[in-house]
Structures are given as C-alpha cells and as structure tokens.
Amino acid sequence: MNAEKLISGQEVAKHNSRESCWIIVHGKVYDVTEFLDEHPGGSKIILKYAGKDATEEYEPIHPPDAITTNLPPEKHLGLVEPSTVEKVQVKITDEEKARQERVANRPPLDEILNLHDFEAIARQTMPEKAWAYYSSAADDEITTRENHAAYHRVWFRPRILVDVTKVDWSTKILGYKSSMPVYITATALGKLGHPDGELNLTRAAAKHGVIQMIPTLASCSFDELVDAARPGQVQFLQLYVNKDRSITKRLVQHAEKRGIRGLFITVDAPQLGRREKDMRMKFEAEDPSEVSKAGSRGVDRSQGAARAISSFIDPGLNWKDLEWFRSITKMPLILKGVQRWEDALKAYDLGLAGVVLSNHGGRQLDFARSGVEVLVEVTEYLKRHRGLTFPNEKFQLFVDGGVRRATDVIKAIALGATAVGIGRPFLYAFSSYGSEGVERALQILHDEFEMNMRLLGARSVADLAPDLVDASNIHSHLVAVPSDKLYESNYESMRHARLRDT
C-alpha cells in the first residue's frame, strides 16, 4: 500500500471510466477497475462515482473496512490531496426538500408517547431508500405482521391485592445485569438512518443499562462500537458466518478479546429473503435507459440494498460447524433464528447457551411463525423431553420480532423467555432523533413496565409466570383479534409494479 503517496483530485478525475476507474473513499484513492464486475452491488453504482469522492454513498452501506479487505494492497493508490478534490454536487430534488422540511417539523421528543410513534415519524422523515430497507420484509409480509399480531392472542390474568408499592423489572441476561428484560437486537446499516449509525444505540444502551447486540454488518466498525462503550457496559455480537472461515475465526476471536459476552450466530439466513419494498426502491432509482445500455453488466435488479451485500454469507453452515465454533471461542454460543422445538432441543443437547426464537423480523421465510408462538411450543416440548423449566439459567430462550410494548415483553417473559430483542423501533428512534430518541424509547418502555407490572400484581421478573397469561389461542391463526390501530396505520401496504412513465 502506497500509504504516503499524495495524489491530486485532478489526477483521480482522469480515471473516470470502465477502462480505468479510481474512486476516493475516506480520503484514500483506490483503483477499482478490476473489481467493478465483482462488486456485489453491481458496477453501475461505482461507475457513477468514477474519478470522484464516493464516501457519502459508500459509508452507510459498507462496514468501514469493506474496501480495504476486498481490494488487494496494490490497488490502494495513496492519499488524495484534500484541497484538490471537487465536492460531488448532489442535486437536491423537490422531494428531498419536502422531506427535509418534514424532518425540521418533527414533534419534540416529549410528545412521543410510544414506540409506534417513532415508526410513524420515521416513515415520513427518513430517506425513502432507508425506510424501504428497514421496513421491508419477505414476500407478502405476512410474517412481519403476524409477529406483532401474535401478541394480541395472549391475554392477561392479573393477580389482585398484591403489595406493588415497589416493582422491579430488572433481570440478568446470560448472567449480565440488564435494567429490563429487553436487549437491543442487531440490525444492519445504521448509517442509512443517521450519520452516527449504531453508535446511537451504544450510547443510549449505556445510559439505560441495557445490552446492545452489535451486528456483523453494522455501518460503524466493530471496534468503534466497542470503544464507545462505557467501562463494564455489556455488548453481544450477532454473527453472519463467512464462506471463508478464517475471516469468521478472526472476527470471533477479536470480539472475544474485546470483551464481547455472547455470540449470537444467525441461522435463518442461508440466503437473504426477497424484500420487495427494498427491491422496488432500487429498481425505481435506476434510469431504465441506462440500465438497458449497460446490458448484462448493469446492476442486478433482483437485489435490494441488503441482498446485494450479503453474498459472503455461507449457505453451507450446518450443525457440524458448531463444534468448530466451540473450539475457537469460549464465549457463550446462542443460535439466532430457531423456529421449531426440534432445533431448540438439538441446541440444548449440544450444550449451547440458548436460542433466539426469531424469524428475522419477518424478513426471511414468509409464513414462518412468530417467535412468541414458537416459544410456547419450545417450553412445552423441552419440558416433556428433557424436564426443563423456563426461564432457565443454563439454556436461555430469547424472542424477537413485532415487540412494541412492555406488555408484549411481559407476555414473552411470563411464557418462559429470559429477554426479548427489539430492533426496528430503536432504529426508527435514532433515525429521527439520534441517541436521544433511543433514550426516550427506553424510557417509554421503563414507564410501561412500571405501570403494567403493578397492574398485573407482579413485583419482580420472577413473578412473571405462565399463570399470568392466557395463551390458549396462540397457535390459532384464525381467531378474530381486535386490530391495533396505531400499528396498522404505520404498516405500509405493498404496491404492484407500475407502468413506466412515457
């Protein structure tokens, strides 16, 4: 690597074609000519920045070291002389202007009363592409809606005349203190929503004493997120397993060295689901004439933002690999994305620390069941086959997907979960309000816990037992349930393909 060499912006600008394509990212110049056709997101987007500074486009959708790990050192040409680079002029469209106005008019945080509110604000104020990426889910989005709806099939059986002057909903997750039975689950590409990306989560988690699960595909670098943690702040890591196991091994061992307390291996994404809102957004962003000119070299239109950058994930990952994970790390291993009791039982028999009953926020297999429904099945069968009772310190059950209220969390805890993961609502909170938004979201949950624990007659998490809920309808997908108006008004219907403008 020519770390010292200084290159002028004018020199970079000459290399602006498919034949010779240089780009600037974070002040460094790279020759990406030979990489164009290998770029998982297609060559067209790189060519748009040929000879220019691509940092702003690059940043939200790549981990900071993506370029350095994928390009051989001889393609790292040197540093650009900053004063010589012309700023890429981004055209501000009328739509963008209108959006910025909506951002300026967002309500003050004290008017946000629940987690649905963050979603409603984000939907109106986030850049369209970011909203499409975060909110989208697989196929007809049946599972993503079911994730929330399933909680409506669980009803409470409160205890009365319990002294609830003091209530305490703090707990332990994998042995680590948490101010509530909630953790911030992993969601990728945080900088699509806010320039500080996942750092917003790290900061708010510290203030509220909750645990953050760092995603493999964070927009911030792993070390940045660990460095930003306060002394003693607990973080977990979500892991996508690379086809190249040496990369995964390095990542895992580095994480352990940096003090990560639990490794959540994603097992529900051998291939990324089709999220049509995300895909259509990309499709519409293309100029159709350009795409047909580019022919087979054009961007693969079948991909959305997520799919385009997921090609490193190993679809060959299987049960036999778990022994290898145990040989490379002492961190507790948890499988994230378990969807049937048989697999939970296997994980238990292998001595893993737990499982997350999850369908990836409905973004993978449509018609996968909700985590809370699978929870009921798992506790029943693990009791029957191994005599286990839950919550269980040695084998912990987690649930994520569709959680918007402390009552949702309380239902899952009463049914045997140790804690519940929340993803999108925190993303929406920081996209509109930065880390203060996440703090507000956590405060709202705090207030909801306090009230609902009292009203249920539960003084502590230990009191949250199955007798507090009636989940007898959980497996029935046909019962009429009153609809959740706040949620429904945020839920965005899908669209069909449209005729081209002529």
Q: Select from 34-42, 166-174, 203-211, 306-314 the region that touches ligand 173 (CB under 6 A).
A: 306-314
Size of the site for ligand 173 (CB under 6 A): 9
Does position 137 interact with ligand 173 (CB under 6 A)? The reply is no
Q: 52 to each of 19, 27, 38, 56, how far by Cα in Å?
A: 15, 11, 20, 11
CB atoms within 10 A of CB 371: 29
Give the nearer residue to ligand 173 in terms of CB position, either 280 or 360. 360
Give percent helix, percent strand, percent coil of the chain, each to the nearest 5: 45, 15, 40
C-alpha to C-alpha distance for 390 and 388, rounded to whole angstroms:
7
Give the nearer residue to ligand 173 in terms of CB position, either 116 or 360. 360
State in angstroms the smallest separation of the CB of 479 from ligand 173. Answer: 29
Does position 360 interact with ligand 173 (CB under 6 A)? The reply is yes
Q: 198 to each of 14, 49, 201, 444, 449, how far by Cα in Å?
A: 36, 26, 5, 20, 25
Does position 309 interact with ligand 173 (CB under 6 A)? The reply is yes
Q: Select from 303-311, 378-386, 417-425, 453-461 the region that touches ligand 173 (CB under 6 A).
A: 303-311
Does position 217 interact with ligand 173 (CB under 6 A)? The reply is yes
Does position 345 interact with ligand 173 (CB under 6 A)? The reply is no
Does position 310 interact with ligand 173 (CB under 6 A)? The reply is yes
Q: Select from 100-108, 122-130, 145-153, 302-310 the region that touches ligand 173 (CB under 6 A).
A: 302-310
Give the nearer residue to ligand 173 in terms of CB position, either 178 or 339. 339
Does position 15 interact with ligand 173 (CB under 6 A)? The reply is no
Q: 472 to each of 50, 105, 142, 377, how far by Cα in Å?
A: 60, 45, 22, 12
Does position 167 interact with ligand 173 (CB under 6 A)? The reply is no
Q: Select from 146-154, 305-313, 325-333, 344-352 the region that touches ligand 173 (CB under 6 A).
A: 305-313
Q: Which of residues 229-288 bind ligand 173 (CB under 6 A)?
A: 269, 272
State in angstroms the smallest separation of the CB of 363 from ligand 173. Answer: 4
Task: Evaluate the CA torsion angle 203, 491, 143, 409 in order and state its sign.
Answer: positive
Give the nearer residue to ligand 173 in terms of CB position, either 306 or 403. 306
CA 127-278-138 angle, to 5 degrees, is: 135
Does position 112 interact with ligand 173 (CB under 6 A)? The reply is no
What SS3 state is found at 336? Answer: strand
CB-CB contact of 11 with 20 (8 Å): no
Give the nearer residue to ligand 173 in terms of CB position, either 136 or 233. 136
Does position 306 interact with ligand 173 (CB under 6 A)? The reply is yes
Give the nearer residue to ligand 173 in terms of CB position, either 180 or 309. 309
State in angstroms the smallest separation of the CB of 221 from ligand 173. Answer: 16
C-alpha to C-alpha distance for 434 and 444, rounded to whole angstroms:
16
State in angstroms the smallest separation of the CB of 231 from ligand 173. Answer: 30
- Which letter does DSSP use for residue 59 in this model? H
Catalytically active residues, by annotation: 240, 268, 360
State in angstroms the smallest separation of the CB of 160 from ligand 173. Answer: 43
Q: 302 to each of 206, 281, 362, 499, how far by Cα in Å?
A: 39, 11, 19, 18
Q: Which amino acid is at 53?
A: D
Site string for ligand 173, 314-343 (x = CB under 6 A): ------------------------------
State in angstroms the smallest separation of the CB of 403 from ligand 173. Answer: 16
Does position 84 interact with ligand 173 (CB under 6 A)? The reply is no
- What strands, in cross-sheet order, belong to the sheet with 76-80? 6-7, 76-80, 28-31, 22-25
Q: Which amino acid is at 66?
A: A
Does position 188 interact with ligand 173 (CB under 6 A)? The reply is yes
User: Quick one: which of 321, 187, 352 has its CA closest to 249?
Assistant: 321
Give the nearer residue to ligand 173 in terms of CB position, either 50 or 309. 309
C-alpha to C-alpha distance for 435 and 456, rounded to whole angstroms:
31
Give the nearer residue to ligand 173 in terms of CB position, either 336 or 411. 336
Gyration radius (Cα) of the chain, Å: 24
Binding stretches for ligand 173 (CB under 6 A):
188, 217, 269, 272, 306, 309-310, 360, 363
